[in-house]
Structure 1
Amino acid sequence: MLDDQEALDLAADWADISTGLRKDIGQQLFGQWIKPIQLGPFCKETGTLDLYLPTEFSANWVADRFADRLSLAWKIARPDVRHVRILVHPGRRAMPDLRLGEGRRAANDGAAPAQPGDALGMGAEFGAVGGAGIGGAVGLDPSLTFQTFISGTSNVLAANAAQRMAATETPQFAPLYLKGATGQGKTHLLHAIGHAYLSAHPRARIFYCSAERFMVEFVQALRQNQMMEFKGRLRGFDLLLVDDIQFIIGKASAQEELLYTIDALLAEGKRLVFAADRAPQALDGVEQRLLSRLSMGLVADITPADIDLRRSILESRLARFSPHHVPADVIEFLARTINRNVRELVGGLNKLIAYAQLTGQAVSLQLAEEQLTDILSANRRRITIDEIQRTVCQFYRVDRTEMSSKRRARAVVRPRQVAMYLAKVLTPRSYPEIGRKFGGRDHSTVIHAVRLIEDLRTRDSDMDGDVRSLLRQLES
């Protein structure tokens, strides 16, 4: 086991290596393949460092293309690292192995659950899940259920439709197509549907995979002359869950097979759910017949989480997974600042808590700003003081010149103070810089305004409502 200091040193070295790789290979490749890497254990005796990736596919892809580069980078950064292994994270379930094998039974037919050393559950036949308990379902993450999914205005349609798809009653729409940007909860809902459907139908046969994995196994079956077995198994499932369907773009033979599978399953009343980062009509390179099937049911949008939903997600995560104390102002800061996707939001909270536990520091606003620099800078939209002044003046119906005027009337002073408060909250400007943008006022005037509005928000619900409304307008 590494002590805390060694773990921090490894993390610091990885941050430097990551920065170099980002410059070398570009942001797109880095974000897709290198960024998900997590540091595993380092054995001093053998000089072996493990790097973890979330799926077998991504681990193989990185190992094929970046193993030498990663090994060299680590040897330069730390001479005691002599070997680098790229593995699937042991805490995650690998994508189910779809390859057909004789004499093996699907998990829901009573196969024994995977043991820790059994290739992370890769022995299940063709991705079938089910059996003695939901927790033993191969390919489904046991933590991704409807109970752990937080609903809000941005995802309520998708969440309700997903629950309907998993219910005992026959759904009124088929298939269900979940559309949303990366990290907004599509995959969570796919897993939740699988768990709920298994709970209602313990003997059900379920197939969950990404379109990317579907492509890999389709090609393997084609090369091994096992297409008949592939088709037969695929069409034998009661529930088909396919993630990231956009990755099937341009694969004509696979598209045709998926089309026939959809038709066969729908004809038998089976249930199908797809997820993608764009609407069916925006899938370039997909033939029209498949587009028609994907959009013939219900296309449910998941839009970016609003501030209230982001708060709820953080509070729920904190209550379930961490005994560590996180002040309310830190939760508010994270919810307000990390607004691109939910995955980054939860990841930021996890990173902050882990750092605090490893170093023995208390979680604070300052610690969050120091340790989450990359995440925060990627999410921050540049809001200017001019934009804040313009929005506040429109909201309170005062002339823009009043932001810099010397008038002391309450109808003018209060909007001016609100604008100063928002300037401090939403921009990196200092008190003197803000003062100069408000008619050359002293920094002490700005400090007074910020403290006053903070106090009023705790005592005056109307003022708190005004500020919340302005924050939503400025951050949208």
Structure 2
Amino acid sequence: MSKADMETTVEDQEALDLAADWADISQGLRKDLGQQLHSQWIKPVQLGSFCKETGTLDLFLPTEFSANWVADRFADRLSLAWKIARQEVRHVRISVHPRRRALPELKLNGSVRPPASMQTSSAALVAPGIVDSLSAGLDPSLTFTEFVTGASNVLACNAAQRMAAEAAPQFSPLYLKASTGQGKTHLLHAIGHAFAASRPGARIFYCSAERFMIEFVQAMRANEMLEFKARLRGFDLLLVDDIQFIIGKSSTQEELLHTIDALLAAGKRLVVAADRAPQALDGVEQRLLSRLSMGLVADIAPADIELRRKILEHRMLRFVAQNHQVPGDVIEFLARTINRNVRELVGGLNKLIAYAQLTGQQVSLQLAEEQLTDILSANRRRITIDEIQRTVCQFYRVDRTEMGSKRRARAVVRPRQVAMYLAKVLTPRSYPEIGRKFGGRDHSTVIHAVRLIEDLRTRDADMDGDVRSLLRQLES
């Protein structure tokens, strides 16, 4: 191995180390601060470089406002957490990501004038024939190719692709509604990338509702509202994320309302995303609600277990090329256990692989249970054996008393074995504990039932379908 290759390997290893530490620190802060504060301020933090000589670690945020907010309120907490995780980290520096670019100059009445109050914001796509997704604020990894579809999100994905197509969509605006971590932001970025590819030189802008409000206030204070309005309404595609945060800001709502009217009247395209339906946005005036609802409201439901499996398998395609292997039982375990949102699911897989690589261990079910404790405990819903027995009896139309009876008729034995199998898969109970819940049966009987159903699932499509259906009912 050459010296350059060795240096690259060391750098990659250090980056993985930092990423693994940050995953742990972020999870700890989520528990301390709560989900809402964590999602709004800590989750957008991006790791920068670490200078060993000065012991300084850079943390980046997308806007000056968010960087200042995090620095004012969380700098001491972040610094302490990093010092505990890594003794060599002596200073934590919080700033705006260096790849942010200045806005393009605005042409008003033939003159060219850059709006001074907004020169630090991300730019639009303005160069004819050049697609620069970074300057539009788009993440290059969030494309339609990387978006995995299932029953819960296929409508939203198809609508997003229509919105990005060259032909004019039949609906506008498109309103994407989904809870945290289900893929609405991914679709916003994917729309931007696809639209830029089909229309070179198109002007595209992605922003959060928070950023929209900040720039609006800056423009007002600098007496540059004309420039702000001209720039905003000059885009061919406007993508606004987390619209729920615009609640209660009457002047900002008024400007957004006029912007929507101007864009739609000019045949431009608008896509917004929120964690709730338009009608559930408290503090938003009725005129704006009607504009947001007049196009298509596409709901993204929580990913079911089939989609979670597909997402993990798709993600594994990246790691296979890097010679990282994850056994099928681990994939199944993650898909079943991490069910709150897709972001946590993918984050759990990434953390597991990074830990295994850094420690030289093989990825296994035991390693997953040990290293993903916080994520697993937050996602795990307590399913009882009584609940499993009740659901299985309803599914097979068997009397509940048969779960503990001594009858050996096939119509009774097979549902009982399925219930034992599900009790082992979905609960932390031991074989003897499960046996006691099924009429005081010996643990060897439970082991036989579990192994039998596992074998039948591989050979009998009907049995596999029954078990999958029962799992969906119990985990929903």
CA displacement, residues 243-288 of structure 1 (integer Å, 9 cap, x when unaligned): 1111111111110000001111111111111111111111000011
Distance 1:10 1:166, change over 3 A: closer
TM-score, structure 1 normalization: 0.87
In structure 2, what is the equivalent of residue 175 of structure 1?
173
Query: Are 1:309 and 2:317 counterparts?
Result: no
In structure 2, the partner of 1:420 is 420
| Cα displacement string for residues 217-237 of structure 1 (whole angstroms, at most 9, x for unaligned residues) | 111111111101000111111
Q: 1:254 aligns with which of 249, 252, 259?
A: 252
Aligned mates of 2:173, 2:26 — CA distance in 1: 44
Counterpart position of 2:186: 188
Q: CA RMSD in A?
A: 2.9
1:53–1:357: structure 2 CA closer, same or farther, 3 Å change rule? farther
Equivalent position amino acid for 2:54 in 1: T
Residue 9 to residue 286, structure 1, CA distance change in 2 (3 Å): closer
| Structure-2 separation of matches of 1:305 and 1:13 | 26
Q: Which residue of 1 aligns with 2:454?
A: 454
Percent sequence identity is 80
2:106, 2:227 within 8 Å by CA — same for their partners in 1? no
2-side partners of 1:305 and 1:130: how far apart? 39
Q: Does the Cα contact within 8 Å between 2:172 and 2:264 map onto a contact in 1? A: yes
1:214 partner amino acid: F
Task: Choose which of 55, 67, 70 in structure 1 pairs with 2:75.
Answer: 67
Q: Distance in 1 between matches of 2:161 and 2:285?
A: 30
Corresponding position of 1:49: 57
1:82 to 81, 90, 98: 90
Q: Do the aligned residues in 2 keep the contact of 1:11 with 1:39 (CA within 8 Å)?
A: no
- TM-score if structure 2 supplies the norm length? 0.87
Aligned residue type for 2:367: L
Instruction: Give unpaired runs (5+ residues) of structure 2.
Output: 1-9, 108-118
Give the Å deviation of 1:328.
1.3
Distance 1:334 1:53, change over 3 A: farther
Q: For the structure 1 residues 240 and 250, does the alpha-carbon distance in structure 2 shift closer, same or farther, using more than 3 Å as the test?
A: same
Residue 30 (structure 1) shift: 3.8
Distance 1:71 1:338 in 2: 29
Change (3 A) 1:75 1:421: closer
Residue 217 of structure 1 corresponds to 215
Size of the aligned set, in residue pairs, is: 455
Which position in structure 2 is the counterpart of 1:333? 333
What are structure 1's unaligned runs of at least 5 residues?
104-120
Please say if 1:429 is aligned against 2:437.
Answer: no
Whether the 8 Å CA contact 1:4–1:359 is kept in 2: the answer is no
- Residues 335-378 of structure 1, C-alpha deviations (whole Å, 9 max, x = no match): 11111111111111111111111111111111111111111111
Specify the alignment match of 2:235 in structure 1: 237
1:286 corresponds in structure 2 to 284
- Give the letter aligned to residue 43 of structure 1: C
Output the CA distance in 2 between the equivalents of 1:13 and 1:144: 21
- Secondary structure in 2 aligned to 1:84? strand
After superposition, the Cα gap between the structure-2 partners of 1:39 and 1:444, relative to the gap in structure 1 and judged at 3 Å, is: farther
Alpha-carbon contact 2:253-2:288 (below 8 Å) kept: yes
Distance 1:125 1:17 in 2: 29
* Residue 11 of structure 1: how far off its partner (Å): 5.5
CA distance in structure 2 between the partners assigned to 1:159 and 1:390 by the alignment: 37
Q: Give the letter for the 2:236 counterpart.
A: D
Q: Deviations over 1:43-79 (max 9, x none)?
A: 3432223345566654332112111333345556766
Q: 1:256 to 1:367 in 2, by over 3 A?
A: same
> Cα gap change, 1:55/1:341 in structure 2, threshold over 3 Å: closer, same or farther?
farther
Aligned residue type for 1:413: V
Look up the equivalent residue of 1:149 and give its one-letter code.
Answer: F
Does structure 2 retain, via aligned residues, the 8 Å contact 1:129–1:138?
Answer: no
Distance 1:17 1:284, change over 3 A: closer
Distance 1:2 1:211 in 2: 36
1:357 is the counterpart of 2:357: yes
Q: How far apart are 1:165 and its partner, in Å? A: 1.0
Q: CA deviation at 1:303?
A: 0.6
SS state at 1:148 partner: coil
1:97-136 superposed matches below 5 A? 125=123, 131-133=129-131
What amino acid is aligned across from residue 336 of structure 1 in structure 2?
Answer: R
AA matched with 1:372: L
The DSSP-based 3-state class of the residue aligned with 1:147 is coil
User: How far 1:312 moved relative to its partner?
Assistant: 1.1
